[in-house]
Structure 1
Amino acid sequence: MLSRPELGVLELCGALGLPEEEVRASLDRLADLTLVRQSLEKPGQLRVLSPELALEVMLHRQEQDVLRQQQRLAAAKLAAAQAIAERAARRPSFDDGTGADVLLGLDAIQERLESLARELSSECLSVMPGGAQSQASLDASRPLDEVAMDRGVSMLTLYQDSVRNDPATLDYARWMSEGGGQVRTAPLLPPRFLVFDRRIAVVPIDPANTRRGALCTSEPAVVATLCAMFFQAWETAVPLGAGQPGEGLSGNEKLLLKLLAGGLTDDAAAKRLGVSLRTVRRQMSSLMERLNARSRFEAGLKAAQLGWI
């Protein structure tokens, strides 16, 4: 149209080898962009703007679009900031100056963990007692752990020895190890907690029922104590790929003997070890057979004589 302004719609179809429907649709698009206009000299015909004027029109339109987008973005940021401020005002929290928040329910905990994971810069310490972890917990943790490891964050995780008997948890632990994380296991662990960059800690309100909620605190004394507990357990824990130590008994079996010798019932020992009651009884039966003992008391005596406990 710039080189041959005299061509009408049908002539354009012939010159371009395009169907009339496609040419008219293109002309409508050019008109919408104000790049072609009705001719004042020849009513019914279209004239095309000069390249210089057309470029100026297009740039002006794009500038207006960018301005409107910036205005929408600013409005969205303001609305988000207001919503966050309102939610923070309603969120239950301690008012004792410790900088601690109470997170009620799994959704609130997951939301805070996602936020803390995004802010992680160097290290995350995790204690995961109770043996096998639920599939829902593993699924929720995977994307957070993956993003952190991709950023080079040091991920140190402690599981109980019994996870070695749970395929799902064991696969997850191996996946973390392959991704650059460090995983160790121990027969007995402190209650569940997480520490982010040795700065913020998240601990369950009720260790026996982690679904109830959690406490998120930045109190230095609390965070330092939890870090000390973690590394004390870490030093004696066994790396995931190292297997269990020998000496006739696994660490889990040694601890089982000590717990039962200390007067704990099978059920209480199972809870401490993060295994099922059936597992405790099976392990005890195996120990009695290996020690050639007729009673648990006799098994305890023989184990002590062998230096196992």
Structure 2
Amino acid sequence: MLDHPAWDVDELVAHLGIPETVVHDALSALADQTLITPPTGQPGALHAIGPQLGLIALLNQAEQQMLAQQAKLQAVRASVLAHAASRDTHREREEIVRLEGLDAVRDRLAEHASTATESVQMLTTGAAMPAEAIETGKMLSRIALSRGVQIRHIYHENTLQDAASLAYAEWMAERGEQSRVMPEAPVRMTIVDRQFALIPIEPCSGRGALEVRGNRLVSAMCLLFEMLWDKSTPLSRRLANSDGLSDQATAILRLLRRGRTDEAIGRQLGLSERTVRRTVSDLMKRLDAESRFQAGVEAALRGWV
């Protein structure tokens, strides 16, 4: 039509070699897109719009559709944020929220893993991490780390005496978690973005957790975590320094550091006093220590206990 403006429908059919119905359908589609218009003073004739004007018209139409879609998305976003804000406002009315049962705790941790923007700080205590907790921890930590959230984790050294718990700590460290170990840990807790803190309702129980909110309470727990972090030993250094140290030797060192006598250590660990003396002597040589007290201090500095 651009090359032959004077052609009518019959001529288009004849020269293109297509059915008349196809030509009419094409003309209707072009008219819908305002790419053909009736010329002034020529009833029944059709005028093809130049490609530059026609494409600009199509682009304008697409732009309007995109703007309308963006407006819808913004409206949905505003609705979601308003709903979240109303929930947060409701939550802020209380400084401590009780999460009953492990399912509620896991759901809340999953929410935090998906919404945290800066950091997650954890302190793990206990004789060992349950298998279910390990799997959940892997999944949630992967989510947080994949979003660029920093994870710092302090493990109680007793927890890492368990092979599965130690394997979990090593697995997490390989994926970017900053891990440390300390001999004494006061309470299990998780701090998210320095705004929320979760602690157990009761130690060593599955009753659930308390989520603490409010600047003063959470700030105090953040301060406690930082103090413990500074006093703890990097997991990598502990693993390297304790290479070849048996569980029995580690247990003796821990009690030696607390000032226990050979007799008391043997009684507590079920060992003969002679075995304890021999182990202590070997450890002092290995640590290049001249006294039992110095051996305990040196072992702590090296991250063995």
**TM-score scaled by structure 2?**
0.61
For the 8 Å contact 2:194–2:222, the answer to whether it is kept is no
For the 8 Å contact 2:160–2:166, the answer to whether it is kept is yes
Which residue is 2:271 aligned to?
299
One-letter identity of the residue aligned with 1:299: L
Which residue is 2:54 aligned to?
54
Distance in 2, matches of 1:39 and 1:48, equals 9
Q: 1:24 to 1:172 in 2, by over 3 A?
A: farther
Which residue is 1:35 aligned to?
35
Structure 2 residue 212 is the aligned partner of structure 1 residue 216: yes
CA positional deviation for 1:37: 5.0
CA positional deviation for 1:231: 3.5
Identity rate of aligned residues, in percent? 24
CA positional deviation for 1:36: 3.5
Q: Secondary structure at the match of 1:148?
A: coil
| 1:16-75 CA-partner distances (Å, limit 9, x unpaired) | xxx9999888666544433235778474x7642223542453244234324422431343
Distance in 2, matches of 1:23 and 1:211, equals 75
For the 8 Å contact 2:36–2:48, the answer to whether it is kept is yes
Q: 1:47 to 1:213 in 2, by over 3 A?
A: farther
1:195 is aligned, of 168, 185, 191, to 191
Which residue is 2:146 aligned to?
146
| 1:69-93 CA-partner distances (Å, limit 9, x unpaired) | 2431343234224422443455485
Distance in 2, matches of 1:10 and 1:189, equals 91
Q: Secondary structure at the match of 2:154?
A: strand
Distance in 1, matches of 2:249 and 2:17, equals 86
Q: Secondary structure at the match of 1:8?
A: helix
- In the TM superposition, 1:269-284 aligns within 5 A as none
Which residue is 2:283 aligned to?
none
Gapped regions of structure 2 (runs ≥ 5): 281-291, 297-305
One-letter identity of the residue aligned with 1:80: V
Which residue is 1:11 aligned to?
15
Distance in 2, matches of 1:180 and 1:49, equals 61
CA positional deviation for 1:144: 0.6
Distance in 2, matches of 1:59 and 1:137, equals 50
RMSD over aligned CA atoms reads 4.5
Gapped regions of structure 1 (runs ≥ 5): 262-290
- In the TM superposition, 1:250-289 aligns within 5 A as 250-251=249-250, 254-255=253-254
CA positional deviation for 1:193: 1.4
Q: 1:299 to 1:27 in 2, by over 3 A?
A: farther
One-letter identity of the residue aligned with 2:15: E
Which residue is 1:84 aligned to?
84
- In the TM superposition, 1:229-244 aligns within 5 A as 229=225, 231-232=227-228, 235-237=231-233, 239-240=235-236, 242-243=238-239
Distance in 2, matches of 1:143 and 1:298, equals 45
Distance in 1, matches of 2:249 and 2:214, equals 38
One-letter identity of the residue aligned with 1:212: G
